[in-house]
């Protein structure tokens, strides 16, 4: 028996970060470890991140939670992707959809066949307008009997509310690619269903995430944790005591005078980083020179129809605005750069662009994009905002909490907290943050907008070498290579690069191995199968009402 094993974990801070950590650790260890969570009702939580990515479903699976029950408790809806409006140029719109796009064939990713077709000037038309080869087709997407499993990834772009993507209506440009995305077709029709596979074809089904009320989600996880081995302590921390011999955290002292000791401390105290920065002084690395936005305003508004199964991110003059549909309301926010717009102007833009009546005054938030230099220091691990901040452009905030806990479980220490473990944890954490950072920079940097000082500034932003390499490879060959276990798939990079106007100069020569007729049939069959699948789906609002309607809409 290891006498040095961790017996006591102290989590500082509640909210989504604290209670997700508590729930996952309690599920993993059961009664082996005493888990205590300290939070104060007098200290508010940020709680503005209401959109997620598909990995959130792994949390529910690990905890044994029913997806519909989670959505009922959090006023949740389903999310098929993110619509980006006005990012490349004013009037442009594309969707970063989850799930697959098209089908790989042989050794090649789907985009090379699509690029070949587009180069011929006969790229497939979008949204239900199939070519003659596809009319009446009932077969799976197959060329001479050779099909392959749909690859991981996602892409999306589409005509939305009369606004076409960068390629333009009726053109053979990048917009046509999204005719091969099931998630995009369903999202633009405001339809949703849980589909594992499209009929008997090799086309995979929908891939979804959630829109949810983050405050209610934290409360739901707290209820789950309360029934197990997590003990909540109400109080405000006034002191952090370190061991003299090694600088490890020994205990925290509450305003009441109570002392709470632990072997491992989890800092979920938000931006202030009470333990990781206040006590251990690990330092913070700013990425504001790449990601200039430094403020946000959040406000709820009355629910309006339709209940869209996707998040919206619309570029504004000095930042961007989010819109997230929940069952009882819509979540809205304006992320902006204070060097180019005042707080009052930002609030006016936010309120002027709401679809429903505001239900509260806009709530301000200040931040600096970046990360702690070490998320794990001595016997303390920082999660959530205490570990770093990435603006919610690609809905990664809750995922970074989830992945941080997952890494901790994989590298779980004993009381000595071997530096080799923390070094590996910090290496993996930095890798994940930096690749997400690159993906966010891409949205700002790949733009043709020059209509405001902010967008002219963005056009001059330098790029990390890792991002420059990815863009150069795609421009020259249409190739996308993921680095290790980075979060975003090849399909995610594909859709944003095309949506932002980065175009490859050629396709892979292996895409020329099939005949023109085979290529046309291959593409047409995929469109036909996707169209039929979407026609069978119910309206998103109807699906929510039938499967996961919240007990109250108040």
Active site residues: 79
Are 96 and 495 contacting, i.e. CB atoms less than 8 angstroms apart? yes
User: Rounded to an integer, what distance in angstroms lies between the CA atom of residue 501 and that of residue 528?
Assistant: 27
Torsional class of 81: left (φ above 0), alpha (ψ -120 to 50), beta (otherwise):
left
Quote the tokens at residue 81: 């992707």
User: Rounded to an integer, what distance in angstroms lies between the CA atom of residue 150 and that of residue 28?
Assistant: 33
The DSSP element (H or E) to which 388 belongs, if any, is strand 388-389
Nearest by Cα to 80 from 326, 396, 310, 307: 310
Q: CB-based contacts of 478: which residues, under 8 Å, 6+ apart? A: 111, 112, 115, 504, 506, 507, 508
Place of tokens 């050779």: 146
Quote the tokens at residue 84: 């980006």
- For the packed helices 419-445 and 465-477, what is the interaxial angle rounded to 10 degrees? 50
Strand partners, 134: none
Query: Is residue 369 classed as helix, strand or coil in its secondary structure?
Result: coil
Tell me whether the omega of the peptide bond preceding residue 306 falls within 30 degrees of 0, making it cis: yes
User: Rounded to an integer, what distance in angstroms lies between the CA atom of residue 476 and that of residue 503?
Assistant: 9
Please state the length of the chain: 554
Residue 156 CA: distances (Å) to CA of 98, 104, 326, 529: 8, 16, 22, 17
User: Rounded to an integer, what distance in angstroms lies between the CA atom of residue 88 and that of residue 446?
Assistant: 7
Q: What is the DSSP letter of 162?
A: T
| DSSP states of 308-337 | -SSEEEEEETTEEEEEEE-SS-EEEEEEE-
């Amino acid at each position: 028996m290891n006498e040095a094993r961790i017996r006591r974990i102290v989590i500082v801070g509640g909210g989504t970060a604290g209670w997700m950590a508590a729930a996952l650790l309690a599920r993993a260890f059961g009664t082996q470890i005493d888990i205590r969570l300290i939070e104060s009702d007098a200290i508010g939580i940020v709680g503005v991140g209401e959109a997620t990515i598909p990995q959130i479903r792994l949390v529910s699976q690990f905890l044994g939670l029913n997806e519909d029950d989670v959505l009922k408790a959090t006023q949740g809806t389903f999310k098929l992707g993110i619509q980006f409006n006005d990012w490349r140029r004013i009037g442009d719109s594309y969707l970063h959809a989850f799930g697959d796009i098209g089908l790989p064939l042989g050794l090649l990713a789907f985009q090379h066949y699509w690029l070949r077709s587009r180069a011929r000037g006969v790229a497939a038309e979008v949204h239900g307008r199939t070519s003659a080869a596809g009319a009446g087709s009932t077969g799976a997407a197959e060329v001479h009997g050779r099909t392959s499993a749909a690859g991981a990834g996602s892409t999306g772009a589409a005509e939305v509310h009369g606004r076409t993507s960068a390629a333009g209506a009726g053109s053979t440009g990048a917009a046509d690619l999204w005719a091969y995305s099931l998630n995009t077709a369903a999202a633009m029709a405001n339809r949703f269903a849980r589909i594992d596979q499209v009929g008997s074809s090799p086309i995979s089904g929908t891939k979804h995430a959630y829109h949810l009320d983050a405050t209610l989600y934290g409360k739901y996880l707290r209820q789950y944790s309360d029934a197990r081995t997590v003990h909540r302590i109400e109080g405000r921390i006034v002191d952090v005591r370190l061991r003299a011999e090694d600088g490890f955290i020994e205990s925290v002292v509450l305003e009441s005078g109570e002392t709470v000791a632990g072997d491992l401390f989890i800092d979920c105290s938000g931006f202030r980083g009470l333990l990781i920065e206040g006590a251990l002084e690990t330092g913070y690395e700013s990425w504001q020179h790449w990601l200039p936005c430094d403020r946000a305003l959040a406000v709820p508004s009355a629910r309006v129809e339709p209940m869209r199964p996707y998040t919206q991110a619309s570029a504004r003059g000095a930042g961007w605005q989010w819109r997230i549909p929940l069952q009882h309301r819509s979540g809205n926010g304006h992320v902006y750069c204070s060097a180019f717009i005042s707080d009052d102007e930002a609030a006016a833009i936010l309120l002027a662009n709401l679809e429903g009546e505001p239900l509260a005054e806009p709530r301000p938030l200040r931040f600096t994009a970046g990360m702690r230099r070490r998320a794990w220091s001595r016997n303390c691990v920082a999660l959530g905002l205490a570990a770093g901040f990435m603006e919610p452009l690609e809905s990664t905030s809750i995922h970074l909490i989830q992945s941080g806990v997952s890494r901790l479980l994989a590298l779980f220490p004993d009381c000595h907290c071997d530096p080799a473990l923390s070094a590996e944890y910090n290496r993996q954490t930095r890798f994940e943050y930096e690749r997400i950072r690159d993906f966010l920079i891409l949205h700002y940097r790949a733009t043709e907008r020059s209509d405001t000082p902010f967008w002219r500034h963005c056009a001059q932003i330098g790029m990390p070498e890792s991002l420059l390499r990815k863009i150069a490879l795609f421009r020259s060959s249409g190739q996308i290579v993921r680095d290790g276990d980075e979060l975003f798939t090849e399909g995610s990079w594909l859709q944003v690069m095309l949506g932002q106007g980065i175009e490859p100069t050629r396709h892979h020569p292996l895409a020329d191995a099939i005949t023109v007729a085979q290529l046309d049939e291959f593409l047409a069959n995929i469109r036909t199968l996707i169209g039929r699948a979407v026609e069978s789906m119910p309206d998103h609002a109807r699906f929510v009402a039938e499967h996961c309607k919240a007990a109250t809409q108040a």
